[in-house]
Amino acid sequence: MAREEILPVESGPAAATDRPARALLARPDYRRLWLAGCVANSMRWLELLVVGIYTFDLTGSTLMVALVTVARTLPLLLLGALAGAVGEALDRKRLLVAGLLVTALNGALLCGLWFVGALRLWHVALGAMVSGTVATGEMAVRRRMVGEVVAPGELSRAIALDSLSTSLSRLMGPLVGGVLFEAVGLGGAYLLSALLHALAAFGIARLAFRQERGRLSLARLPRDIAEGLAVARAHPVIRAVLIVSVITNVFGFSYAALVAPIGLDTFGVSPALVGVLAAGEPLGAVIGGLVLSLGWLGADHPRLFIGGSFGFMIALVVMAQSPWFGLAFAALLLGGLGTARYSIMQTSLVLAEAPPALRSRVMGIVAACIGTGPLGVLLVGLLSSALGAPAALSVMAGCGLVGLTLTRWRIPALRA
C-alpha cells in the first residue's frame, strides 16, 4: 500500500481553534476551495431543478423526471469508491481543475444545442450523466483537500463552514434556476453553469496545494477499495455514518425529484415558486449551518448526526401531507435544520475517525453511499406514478424513519 503523508499546515495564530469563520475565508487556499464548492453545488441543484421542470413540461411524467434525475446522480453510486482510491494516488488539485473544466465544456455544449434548437431530452440526460460523473470526486477530492489546508483543531469548523456553503448552494441554485428558466429557458441555465465552472477552475489552478502522491495501479484498485471498507467495518462510528447516509439519501433526499411535480401539479404554482419551494430545506440548512459554523451549538456526536436525519424525515411527511404551499415551505425549512447537522457531521466524523492515509478511500465509500440516492429517486418515481407524488413522498419518508430507528437500536454509538 502506497504511503501518503499529510503535509503540515500553518501553525500559530492561523491555526487557533477559536478563529472565526471569516478568518478561515481570509486564507486564500481555503477560500478558493470553498468558492469552488459553492459553484459546483449551486450549479448541480440549479441543473436538477431546471431539468426537472423542462422534463415535466415536455413529458408530463413524474417517472421521466425521476429517470433524468437518476442520470445525474447514478455515477456517484457506481464510481464513488473508485474516485476515493484515485484521489489518493493522483494529484487532487489537477483532478479538481480537470473536473471543473469538463463540466464547463459540458454546459457550453448543451447551451449551444439549446440556442440552435437542436437540444433533445437524451442530450439533457447524457449531459446530466457527464456532470454526475465529475461530481463523484466531490467527497474524495475537494472535501478531502478542505480538511488538508487547515490545522487539525480547525477541522470541525472548516467542515461546518464548507457544509454551510453547500446549503447556500442548494438554496441559491433552485431560486436562481426557477427565475432563470422563466426568463431565458434551459439554455440560460447551461450558459451560467459553463461560465461559473470555468471561473472556479481558474481559481483552483492558483491554489498552493502540495501532497505526497502514490502510484495509480489499476490492479490494486480493488484491494485499495477493500481496505477502505475494512476500516469502515472496524469503526462503529464510520459504519453508522455509512448506514445513515444510505437511508437518508434513498428515503429522504430523493424528495428533490418530486419538488417540481408537487409544486406545478399539487399546488399549481409557477416555476419561480417551485424554486422557492425547493429552496425551503436548503434555507433551513443555511440557518443551521451558520449556527454550527460559528460554534454557538455543538455538533460533535453521532447521536446528534442521526437526530438531524430524524428531523428531516418528519419534515418530509408534513410537507407531503400539507394542503397549503406555505405550510409545505415551512416544513422543509425546519427539516433543513436537521440536514445541516447531518451534512456537517457526515464529513467531520469520517475525517476524525479514519486513519489519515486511508481518508480518501473512506470518503469515496461515503460518496458511494450518497450515490444510492438514485435508487430512491427511481422508487419514488414509480410510487408517484401509482399513488401520486404526495403519497409517494409520505411512504418514502415513513420507511426512512423506520430504517433510522432500527439503525439507532443496533449501533450503540448512536445512542450514547
Lowest-confidence region among 193-202, 254-263, 385-394: 254-263
Is residue 212 in some structural domain?
Answer: no
Q: For position 246, what pLDDT does the model report?
A: 92
Q: For position 153, what pLDDT does the model report?
A: 67
Largest CA distance in the chain: 60
| Higher-scoring residue by pLDDT: 73, 202 | 202
pTM: predicted TM-score of the whole model, two decimal places: 0.66
- Mean predicted confidence (pLDDT) in 207-231: 67
| Higher-scoring residue by pLDDT: 287, 351 | 287
CATH number at residue 141: 1.20.1250.20
Instruction: Tell me the per-residue pLDDT of 85-136, one tens digit each, with 9 for 90 and over.
Output: 666 667 778 888 888 999 999 999 999 999 888 888 889 889 888 888 888 7
Q: Which residues contact 411 (CB under 8 A, 6 or more apart)?
A: 236, 239, 240, 243
- DSSP per residue, 313-348: HHHHHHHHH-SSHHHHHHHHHHHHHHHHHHHHHHHH
Q: For position 296, what pLDDT does the model report?
A: 53
Whether the Cβ atoms of residue 281 and residue 336 lie closer than 8 Å to each other: yes
Is residue 347 in some structural domain?
Answer: yes
| pLDDT band, very low/low/confident/very high, at 318 (cuts 50, 70, 90) | very high
In the predicted model, is pLDDT for residue 214 greater than 60?
A: no
Q: Which structural domain, as residue segments, surrounds residue 103?
A: 21-207+219-414
Lowest-confidence region among 1-10, 145-154, 211-220, 326-335: 1-10
In the predicted model, is pLDDT for residue 216 greater than 60?
A: no
> What is the grid cell recorded at 379?
422508487
- Mean predicted confidence (pLDDT) in 20-30: 75
In the predicted model, is pLDDT for residue 151 greater than 50?
A: yes
Q: For position 399, what pLDDT does the model report?
A: 94
Q: For position 5, what pLDDT does the model report?
A: 35
What is the domain count for the chain?
1
Instruction: Tell me the per-residue pLDDT of 221-266, one tens digit each, with 9 for 90 and over.
Output: 677 677 777 877 878 888 888 899 999 999 998 888 788 888 888 8
Q: For position 60, what pLDDT does the model report?
A: 80
Is residue 1 in some structural domain?
Answer: no
Is residue 286 in some structural domain?
Answer: yes
Is residue 3 in some structural domain?
Answer: no
- DSSP per residue, 265-278: IIS---HHHHHHHH
> What is the grid cell recorded at 284?
433551513
Q: Estimate the crossing angle of helix 325-353 against helix 280-293, to 10 degrees.
A: 40
Q: What 3-state DSSP class applies to 20?
A: coil
- Mean predicted confidence (pLDDT) in 200-207: 85
| pLDDT band, very low/low/confident/very high, at 175 (cuts 50, 70, 90) | confident
Is residue 190 in some structural domain?
Answer: yes
Whether the Cβ atoms of residue 27 and residue 148 lie closer than 8 Å to each other: no
Q: Mean pLDDT, the chain, as a whole number?
A: 79
Q: Which residues contact 230 (CB under 8 A, 6 or more apart)?
A: none
Is residue 366 in some structural domain?
Answer: yes
- Mean predicted confidence (pLDDT) in 32-37: 86
